[in-house]
Structure 1
C-alpha cells in the first residue's frame, strides 16, 4: 500500500513534531501570549518594533520613502519621513490586530462599523458573485475579520513555503473566511464567483506585464494586473470596491469597512481603460488612511524601455 504524499491545506502532519519545526511551535506559543496582552501593551510594543524596523530595515525604508515620494509629491520631506515611519508602525499594529482576530476576536466588539453593505447584498440578490477589489492593507487578516462580522467573505491567498506555517495560518483563517482559494486555483475562484460568493481580491501589486499593462498609479505608470477582468467576464460577477481601515485614538481604535457601489460597465472592452479605473479605485481608498498600506513593496519595479527607473 503506497504512502500518502498529498496533503490538504490545513491538514496536520506528524512530521510537524520533528525538531526542525520546534522553533515555529515556540514562536506560535509566543504569539498567542502576545494576543492576550492588554491593547495598551500591544500598541506600545508595535510602535517600538515598528520604529526599530524603520531604522534598521534600510532597503524597505528606502522603498517606502520612494513610493510615498512618487505618489504624494505634495508632501514635504518631513511629512515623507514621518509617514514612512508610520507605515512600519501600522504594519506592526496590524500584526497585533491580526493576532487578536485569530486568538482574541472579542477585543473587536463594539469597535466595528460598516457602510455600503447593500452593494454586496444587491449583487447577490441578483444571483451574482462579488469580486471585492481591495488592497494589501497593514491590517492583514484583521480586515477580513471585520468583514466577516457582516457577510461571509472568501479570500485568495498564496500558500506559505513552510508547510507547518501554512497549516497554522490556514487553520487560523478558517475562523474568518468562508473559503480560502489558492491564487493558482482559477477554476475554484471562478466556481465560487458563479455560486454567488463574495471574494476579497487585491489587484494592487506589480507582477510584470505578462499579467497586465502599464497604467497610471498616482500619476506614475505602473504594471497593473488585469486578471480580474477575465474573472469577471467569465463569472459575470460584480466588481465591488472594498476598503477597511482604523481611525480614532490609538488607545481606543475604531474600525470601518467601506463598500462602494459596483463598478458599472466593468470590465469594458478596453483593457487599459479598465486598468486605469482599477488603479483610481485603489488610489481613492489609500488616500483615506495612507499609512495603512504596505508601501514597502516595490510597486513600480517593472520599467519597460522608455520608462524612467523609480528605485
Structure 2
C-alpha cells in the first residue's frame, strides 16, 4: 500500500538551538497575556512579515489572483496584507492554545455547528483544510470529544520547536501523531478501529500520486488521499472549519458528506475541492495562501510563480 505523500521535511537530529529555546520561552510568556495583547502583537508582526517576506507575499498575491481574478490589484494587495496579519496572529495564538490553563483554552475555543456528527460512533475522517486556525481546531476537538484522534505530523527542523509543537498537539484528550511517511495501511487500520483522523489533504504535494482537478477554475495537482482513505477505512467524511474571532476561535463542524466517496477517485477529489472553495468563500483571508498551491503544473505548462 502506498505511503502518504508529504512535503520534504528535515529531521530534528541536530543540537537544540538557542533561537528555538528562546522562541518557545517567549510563547510560554505570551500565553499569560490577555488575548487582546496577543492579537495586537500579531497584528504588528503580520505587518512586518508582509513587508519583509517578499517571496511569500508574491506567492500569496499570485494565488489570490488565480483564485479571485475578479478582484482588482488594490483589492488583492489589501486581502494579502490582511492574510499576513491573520497568519501571524494565529501563530502567536498557539501560545495560549498550548500553554494557557485548560479553563482559558476552553473559554476561547467554541465548538459550533453540527457537533453531533463527531459524537456518534463509527469511523470518521475529519476534513480540516489549511485555514490559519487549524491547530486551534485540533485542540478544540480533542477537548470536546472523548474519542481517540490521530493526526499526521511532519518533524520540525529545530529540536526545541519540534518538541514544543508535539507536546502542544498531544496536550489534551487522546491524540496520536503519525509521521507523514507512514503507509496508508496504518491510517486505514486506525479508522476501522474507531479513531478519528484529522486530515489536511489540500496542499500541493508534487506530481507523485496527484491528480489534476479544478480548484477555483484552475487545473490543480491534488492528492486523492481523502476519498481513498474514506473508502478503505469505511469512514464518514466530516468537514471542520476553524474560524478566528475576536474572542478566540469558532470551530465549526459541518454536516458530513452523504454518499461520499462515490467510487471515482478523480471525481471525488474534484468534489472535495468544490466543497473547499465554498468553505474558503466564507473567510478567504484566513486560508493558507503563502503555499505554492499551483506549483505542480500539467506537462508543458509553466509555473505561475516564476523566479525571483
* TM-score past 0.5 threshold: yes
- Indicate if the aligned counterparts of 2:106 and 2:140 stay in contact, CA closer than 8 A: no
SS in 1 for 2:17: helix
Moved more, 103-112 or 219-228: 103-112
Query: 2:20, 2:158 within 8 Å by CA — same for their partners in 1?
Result: no
Matched, 1:99 2:95: yes
Contact 2:43 2:85 in 1 (8 A): yes
Contact 1:129 1:195 in 2 (8 A): yes
Question: C-alpha distance in 2, partners of 1:21/1:306?
Answer: 43
Which segment drifts farther, 43-52 or 155-164?
155-164
**Contact 1:95–1:140 (8 Å) recurs in 2:** no
- Residue matched to 2:142: 148
The answer to whether the aligner puts 1:257 opposite 2:247 as a matched pair is no
Is 1:269 the counterpart of 2:263 in the alignment?
yes
Question: Structure 2: how far apart are the matches of 1:269 and 1:205?
Answer: 22
Deviations 1:10-52 (A, max 9, x none): xxx9x99x7x534322222122111212222211111111011
For 2:188 and 2:181, locate their aligned partners in 1 and report how far apart those are by CA, in whole Å: 12
**Backbone CA RMSD of aligned residues:** 2.2
CA deviation after TM superposition for structure 1 residue 109, in Å: 4.0
Deviations 1:164-212 (A, max 9, x none): 4322221221113622122222333222211112111011101123222
Quick check: 2:228–2:265 contact (8 Å CA) kept in 1?
A: no
Q: Note closer, same or farther for the CA distance 1:96–1:163 as it changes in structure 2 (3 Å cut).
A: closer
Taking the TM superposition and a 5 Å limit, the aligned residue runs for 1:288-307 are 288-307=282-301
TM score, norm. by length of structure 2: 0.86
Shift of 1:308: 5.3
Structure-1-length-normalised TM-score? 0.85
2:189 alignment partner in structure 1: 191
Q: What residue in structure 2 maps to residue 10 of structure 1?
A: none
SS in 2 for 1:268: coil
Segments of 5+ residues of structure 1 without an aligned counterpart are 1-12
Partner of 1:215: 213
Q: Give the superposition deviation at 1:75.
A: 2.0
1:241 shift after superposition:
1.4
Deviation of 1:302 (Å) = 0.8
Rounded to whole Å, the distance in 2 between the matches of 1:271 and 1:109 is: 38
Report SS of the residue matched to 2:261: coil
Uncovered stretches (5+) of structure 2, i.e. residues with no partner: 1-11
Task: Compare CA radii of gyration and give the structure with the larger one.
Answer: 1
Say yes or no: does 1:181 pair with 2:181. no
